[in-house]
């Protein structure tokens, strides 16, 4: 086994098909958990190849389910694959895979939203942030309800260089609803440009690498999916705390069809909204009549840098929330 680890030549022995595994362990998809499975191993091989060379890599797979992608990862010659699955029904099927790949597959029955991957792999894998990415990869096809909050959490981890990014610039390859993938990768001026585009692109090189039609899944979901690859940048394109960037971006896209000054104005208390928004846009050198979708990451960098200065000058500003101000006003009126 030690030699197959170094040479990366491991192949799984013949096994029951994923369809047979589903029958054998009665793994019918649970609709409430948005479970849709990939049964075609040629497709899972194609997806896994898109993650790059996985020879001797340490891979963290989120939501392995009946194990289609898991098999393709094991066949890619990895040193170790750690899978985290929430639904206990899948554990016996995964155990069968683990027996077929001795010493390579570690199974955790848990939740990806709370699992701490930063201590799971050897310390020796850690790289300096500026170095090439470590040989650690995240791969997953999660339900859409989990993948979107998870990517926001992981982007915050990228900005703080902790969680999965304690190893360095760990690469991720995740499946999203096609529409979400388009938002993550949308360029300036496109219809899909949104909060997610800026949050992902200021921290990572983001690539939409594959569209998977709904009919590739069992049961077939109502929408198509897409696989997105993320490589954290050596230097974020905005050098401000994640929560500050998130606040500026969220406000800017508040009224996505209006001029950007409308949403950005919501960063400031009503009494001085006009004046403060004017100052923000002037100092950041951003045209107030651009639509939020027309703002580049570099526009957001200037806006965040100026807003940061304004927050430093007024310690109450960052905590300001226009919804809270509206609520208090309506309470007074009531």
**Per CB under 6 A, 141 contacts ligand SAM:** yes
Residue 278 annotated as binding site: no
Q: Kindly tell me which of 92 and 278 has the beta carbon lying closer to ligand SAM.
A: 92
Residue 111 annotated as binding site: yes
Close Cβ partners of 13 (under 8 Å, ≥ 6 residues apart): 100
Count of CB atoms within 10 A of residue 94's CB?
22
In the complex, what is the shortest distance from the CB of residue 46 to ligand SAM, in angstroms, rounded to a whole number? 13
- Please state, in angstroms and rounded to a whole number, the distance separating the CA atoms of residues 121 and 127: 13
- Please state, in angstroms and rounded to a whole number, the distance separating the CA atoms of residues 105 and 80: 6
Q: Kindly tell me which of 214 and 241 has the beta carbon lying closer to ligand SAM.
A: 214
**Options 23, 95, 99, 113; binder of ligand SAM; rule CB under 6 A:** 113
In the complex, what is the shortest distance from the CB of residue 316 to ligand SAM, in angstroms, rounded to a whole number? 37
- Please state, in angstroms and rounded to a whole number, the distance separating the CA atoms of residues 310 and 109: 46
Query: What six digits make up the tokens of 104?
Result: 């390579």
Q: Kindly tell me which of 112 and 266 has the beta carbon lying closer to ligand SAM.
A: 112
Which one of the spans 98-106, 140-148, 229-237, 277-285 is the region binding ligand SAM (CB under 6 A)? Answer: 140-148
In the complex, what is the shortest distance from the CB of residue 90 to ligand SAM, in angstroms, rounded to a whole number? 6
**Per CB under 6 A, 112 contacts ligand SAM:** yes
**Per CB under 6 A, 164 contacts ligand SAM:** no
Output helix, strand, coil percentages for the chain, rounded to the nearest 5: 50, 15, 35
**Options 21, 38, 51, 245; binder of ligand SAM; rule CB under 6 A:** 38
171-177/136-140 β-pairing = parallel
Burial readout 263-280 (b: 16 or more C-beta within 10 A, e: otherwise): bbbbbbeeeebeebbeeb
- Please state, in angstroms and rounded to a whole number, the distance separating the CA atoms of residues 334 and 331: 5
Q: Kindly tell me which of 226 and 306 has the beta carbon lying closer to ligand SAM.
A: 226
Residue 251 annotated as binding site: no
**Per CB under 6 A, 105 contacts ligand SAM:** no
Instruction: Name the residue among 250, 152, 147 with its Cα closest to residue 195.
Output: 250
In the complex, what is the shortest distance from the CB of residue 119 to ligand SAM, in angstroms, rounded to a whole number? 18
Residue 287 annotated as binding site: no
**Options 146, 212, 216, 249; binder of ligand SAM; rule CB under 6 A:** 146
- Please state, in angstroms and rounded to a whole number, the distance separating the CA atoms of residues 31 and 138: 25
What are the strands, taking DSSP E only, across the chain? Answer: 37-38, 58-62, 80-85, 105-109, 136-140, 171-177, 204-212, 217-218, 225-232
**Options 48, 51, 58, 64; binder of ligand SAM; rule CB under 6 A:** 64
Which one of the spans 85-93, 117-125, 241-249, 296-304 is the region binding ligand SAM (CB under 6 A)? Answer: 85-93
Q: CB of 197 within 8 A of CB of 170? A: no
Q: Kindly tell me which of 174 and 200 has the beta carbon lying closer to ligand SAM.
A: 174
- Bridge partners, residue 173, by sequence: 139, 229
- Tell me the binding residues for S-adenosyl-L-methionine: 36, 38, 63, 85, 111, 141
Residues that bind ligand SAM (CB under 6 A): 33, 35-38, 62-66, 68-69, 84-87, 90, 111-113, 141-143, 146
């Amino acid at each position: 086994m030690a030699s197959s680890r170094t040479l990366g030549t491991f192949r799984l022995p013949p096994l029951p098909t994923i369809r047979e595994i589903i029958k054998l362990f009665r793994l019918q998809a649970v609709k409430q958990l948005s479970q849709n499975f990939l049964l075609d191993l040629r497709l899972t091989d194609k997806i896994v190849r898109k993650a790059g060379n996985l020879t001797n890599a340490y891979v963290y797979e989120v939501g392995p389910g009946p194990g289609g992608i898991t098999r393709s990862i094991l066949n890619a010659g990895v040193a170790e694959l750690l899978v985290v699955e929430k639904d206990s029904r899948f554990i016996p099927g995964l155990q069968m895979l683990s027996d077929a790949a001795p010493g390579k597959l570690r199974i955790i029955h848990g939740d990806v939203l709370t699992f701490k991957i930063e201590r799971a792999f050897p310390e020796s894998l850690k790289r300096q942030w500026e170095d090439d990415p470590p040989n650690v990869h995240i791969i997953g096809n999660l339900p859409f309800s989990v993948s979107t909050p998870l990517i926001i959490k992981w982007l915050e981890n990228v900005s703080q260089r902790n969680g999965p990014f304690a190893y360095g610039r760990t690469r991720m390859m995740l499946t999203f609803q096609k529409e979400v993938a388009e938002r993550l990768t949308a360029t300036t001026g496109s219809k899909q440009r949104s909060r997610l585009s800026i949050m992902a692109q200021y921290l990572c090189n983001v690539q939409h690498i594959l569209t998977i039609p709904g009919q590739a899944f069992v049961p077939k979901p109502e929408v198509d999916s897409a696989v997105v690859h993320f490589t954290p940048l050596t230097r974020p394109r905005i050098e401000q705390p994640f929560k500050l960037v998130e606040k500026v971006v969220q406000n800017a896209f508040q009224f996505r069809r209006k001029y950007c000054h409308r949403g950005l104005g919501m960063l400031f208390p009503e009494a001085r909204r006009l004046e403060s928004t004017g100052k923000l846009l002037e100092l950041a050198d951003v045209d107030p009549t651009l639509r939020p979708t027309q703002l580049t990451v570099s526009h957001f960098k200037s806006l965040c840098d100026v807003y940061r200065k304004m927050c430093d000058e007024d310690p109450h500003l960052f905590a300001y929330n226009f919804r809270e101000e509206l609520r208090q006003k309506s309470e007074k009126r009531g």
